[in-house]
Amino acid sequence: MTIPHRRPLLALAAVALTLSACGAEVEPAAGDRTVTVDRCGEPVEYTTPQRAVVYEAGSADKLFALGLADHVHGYVMPPANPPVEESPWADDYAAVEFLSDDLLNRELVVDADADLVVAGWNSGFSDQRGITPEILDGLGIQSFMHTESCFTYPGFPEHVEPFEALFTDLHRLGAIFGVEDRADELVAEYSGRVDAVRANTPEGEPVPVFLYDSGTDQPFTAGNQVPPNEIIEFAGGRNVFADLDARWTQVSWEAVVQSAPEVIIVLDYGDQPAQEKIDFLKTSPITSSLPAVVADRFYVLDYNEGISGPRNVDGLEGFAEYLRTLPR
């Protein structure tokens, strides 16, 4: 049974209203206030940003959930991201500028007159492309890095479990923008929903789950440092590659076969439909005999539910609901 997980827009909008209220309702502290907040493992002094540039939906969603659309100048959204019109914060996306569908780069940020860039390490920020927090510091542009991505950051690494990293980001961004109370409310809401799922996991042994990100010659999957690992665990499953101390990583098809997954989560990119990946798994002689494939147990996880952001909670709830439907 393949579950194409696309929540109706009205339902998403209701969740967004409950969690995020309206961007105009949250007023950051006025003036040129400064605050010291950790950027990965490094204490950094911030002034309240007015023209933030955000990379990918995970970054934008964190600010929109905090009610900070008025402080976002624009967003950079590569094609891997599903359409922003499907977001629970679609109105906020419509109210700010779409800057590019390319990768984040220094010229774009400078041209946008950004005073804050929000992205992840190797997910926006990159040594190879010449856009790092240190380079932006030298240009007088503030930067914020997703805590989840700090695991691989060579400058000031930080190891925080994925959901706790999401909550940490909301608290840190709340401090930077002076909306600490709103951050506290959001974290309480999200952590309460996570706790509710964990209290209602199916009985019995956790189901072995393989997350299929992409790749035909060699698959990309989730190690234990990215949100899908905890989505699987908290919902009552077992990530078959949970022993990999990594974020997104390549494994061999032989290792996938040996793990004998009973459920496969397929990550749904905007430019690489999940159905194409499912068709590959069903027709490849390597994977067609996997227990999950034979039983047609595929669960489609939206890309923005798999990268660090508020929609991780939606992904957890949806996958937990799916696992509860499976016979034990």
Query: DSSP of 168-201, one letter per residue?
Result: HHHHHHHHHHT-HHHHHHHHHHHHHHHHHHHTTP
Superfamily covering domain 22-195: Nitrogenase molybdenum iron protein domain (3.40.50.1980)
Asked whether the beta carbons of 324 and 202 are under 8 A apart, the reply is: yes
What kind of fold does domain 207-325 have according to CATH? Rossmann fold (3.40.50)
pLDDT at residue number 2: 57
Q: Can you give the pLDDT of all 328 residues of the chain as single tens digits? A: 555 554 433 344 444 444 443 343 455 555 578 999 999 999 999 999 999 999 999 999 999 999 999 999 999 999 989 999 999 999 999 999 999 999 999 999 999 999 999 999 999 999 999 999 999 999 999 999 999 999 989 888 899 999 999 999 999 999 999 999 999 999 999 999 999 999 999 989 999 999 999 999 999 999 999 999 999 999 999 999 999 999 999 999 999 999 999 999 999 998 888 999 999 999 999 999 999 999 999 999 999 999 999 999 999 999 999 999 998 7
Q: 52-55 and 97-100 as β-strands: parallel, antiparallel, unpaired?
A: unpaired
Q: What pTM does this model have?
A: 0.90
* pLDDT value of position 9: 38
pLDDT of residue 30: 52
Name residue, tokens 């499912």.
278
What is d(CA 184, CA 34) in angstroms, rounded to the nearest whole number?
Answer: 20
As to burial, measured by CB atoms within 10 angstroms (0-12 exposed, 13-18 middle, 19+ buried), residue 140 is: exposed
pLDDT at residue 26, rounded to an integer: 52
Q: Where in the chain is the domain with CATH 3.40.50.1980?
A: 22-195, 207-325
